Structure 1
Amino acid sequence: MADVELSAPRVVLDADGWTDARVLARLHGQPVAEIDLDLGDGPVTTRDVEQRVLDRGDGVLEDHLRRDGIDRPGQEPPAGAARHRCLEALLPTTPRPAVSVVIPTRNRAGLLATCLDSVLAVRYPDLEVLVVDNAPADDSTRATVHERFGNDARVRYVRLDRAGASHARNVGARLARGEIVAFTDDDALVDELWVAALVAGFADDPSIVCVTGLTLAGSLETPAAQAFEAYGGMGLGLRPRLYDRDEHRGDTLLYPYTAGVFGASNNVAFRREDFLARGGFDVTIGPGTAVFGAEDLDLFLAVVLSGDRIAYEPAATVRHEHRADFADLYWQVFTYSAGFTALLTKWALADRRVAVDLARRVPRILPAALLASHRGGSEAGVGQYPAQLRWLERAGYLYGPLAYLRSRVDLLRGRTAGSAQAGSAVEPVPVLRDPAAAGGLPGALSGDLR
């Protein structure tokens, strides 16, 4: 995996023992293409990458050049301009809203530290970062945050008794000070323009309440990681898009119920007040429940069905590691598929209009979903991948409705994280540099890491 800035001098990519490379081509820090290169023919220069991008003919690079008013990647800004127009739009000199980044974590201090390094390196002036440590097995995460980041006033640490990434994100949003709340995961690496691009995605349009970004593979060194890319990966394209219920619709057959087209919780931002007003992520269908995890898709769907809009901004780029071995990949595909049909079940049971719409549309695609040997086309995934993934995908589709019903039964019986501790207070929360900043959260806040 390599990044190549097309406006830079002639960078050379050497093979260095590798046979192939996947290159993210950028212009002024923003992605314009992702291409695969054979390194067997010798070193690759920036000019080689630029030509390959132009040969693709998708027009992304050309459109970027046109918007910036230049003819070639290495050209200086137009006369009288200090920066290229794209950077003026992403990094304006006018005041911008405060942003709070929430990172849920549990027992992964090493990964968290690397993630935090990337978040704190973003180019954005008004930023805070909340590390929400949910039900840790030991004090290693708190110690790491204190030792590595205790002198950075932007970092705050919160410890919770209750496990669950959805609950951790919701608590982080409640404690946040920013007008915008952004979420990523402890195993992700964010780009330096990540926050700026998410904020720019709101575009002073109050109907846009959510902005998602481009999530790319951190590495493709194992057959399992490569199989997931063939299965569809997590990338959603290199052009900005707008999604809503009527005017700006996605091109999937079950839009808007195929909520994965909008993005994922490891690369998303919300207007904080709107996020809290909607109740945040549904903890009854998040990680740790029988549904395995569909809480982000559920919230995306709620946004669109309510008449609001989601913007997709590929300049908000995150690197996330795919599953490294097939056992983990098989489980991932099964749970993704189960989460999808569990989500459909939830909404069909909760909203009669959704139930009628799904009853009309699902039978048309059911044969392809369950019988086709490979997924293909705009409705789901691309490429060739191991047959086991297709079988596990089918099994997940069939299990999803049962998973949702099991989750509801667990809720009624008080066994889920959402209800088992509903009456308990959050344990004392050590908050870096500001131990009393979060008034209003149940439970007294105490403990200063200094």
Structure 2
Amino acid sequence: MQANVELKIVQDQIPRLFRRYAIPGIVAMLFMAIQTIVDGLIVGRLISANALAAVNIISPIYTLVTAIALTLGVGCQAQIGLNLGRKDYSCAKSSLANGLVGLICFTVVSTICVNIFAEDIACFLGANEILLSDAIGYIHGVMPWLMGVGGLFFCDYTLKGLGHPKFSTGLMTGTFILNIALSLLFVVLFDWGTLGAGMGTGISFTVGTIVYIVIIWRILKKMPLVRNAKVRWSWRTFGHIAYNGSSEGLTEVAVGISTFVFNVTLMAYSGEKGVAAYTVIQYVNFICISILLGVSNGVIPILSYNEGAGNMQRVSAVSHIAILTNLAVGFIFIVILIFGANSIMEIFIDKSEQPVLDIAASGAKLMALSFLFNGFNIFAASYFTAIDRPLQSIIIAGLRSFAILIAGVTLLPFWFGLDGIWISTPVAELITVIIALFLLKNRMKLNGIK
């Protein structure tokens, strides 16, 4: 079984290999987006627009946990692929063990702290008297289950790194379907409001994590070279895993921070209506971003293994297909949002709340321009993570989702008002794509690849 998986990565035709890893990645990320959107529909339609804004206010905490899980998960996935390509099975197994221990320690401490200081955290993140109750309810719903939330994403990347992308997609999809069912049960039948929406996510993700762990354990038993390898705990190994996956984690942290800055700025320019509109726009944008991430992160095992095995031309071929795919997806979503923004926004917000609809439709059209560039940026960050070049990956992730974006949200509204908030995203992506292209071309040149 182990030899068969490794043989396919180094010998299969590139288009077939790309489909085998990228399509499951896209499907899993799309289901994640759909689950997030359905949660938004449940909260926005069945509770209230203010409840939707309250959940968005709290999202930076949730994002921080997923950021750590992604950092360790992607870092482990890349190290597993690189070390399997080098036939270093002890390092591959040690990477998995080190990452898992680190994740458990972080989630235990976070669970205790967040639930004790729920009200203080909600107020700090910008919840006013109108949003505070719903914000605290969501914290108490999802935060007791942080180990399950973080574990799901970590195990997903681990299972893909072991060469089972389709299996991983099936498990992730089942988890999201369970999440939707439990959220409907707790919100509609039990009438638990944002507490129920949070519990639906927490419980379903915890169940999914348990199933993942059982499956990974059984797969490792069928991989004798990995199973029999010695595990070495090392702070150096753990630090390198965290460093190598840090761009993905930084992206998630930056999303949380930028969401906080967006919310504070929007509260100043348009109040709760602006925050609710931004929340809906983010749901729509998340669909496209999910596809781009599905492609980019899906091919990490291919890139890592072939980089470790020295197959540079295969690395180049996979990169070209991934970049072209992301560019095509971005163009399609630009067209959809420019011509259909009004209709799409009405799916989430009732027509009776016309001011929110108007703000959301206008903002969606402007933010859609970012899809011209972010597909390339997302792939470039994943590429550098896959080949164990975390610094370049951090630069790209930090620029597009943090440094330039925060500067834009802070400064552009002074000249363009509310529109300045929306155009800060495409401006950040445009500046980043120039730098990312330079870094990627230099790396390819060093590898002797055109």
Give TM class, smaller chain: under 0.3
Identify, as 1 or 2, the structure richer in helix. 2
Q: When you count strand as a share of all residues, which structure comes out higher? A: 1
Q: Which of structures 1 and 2 has the bigger CA Rg?
A: 1
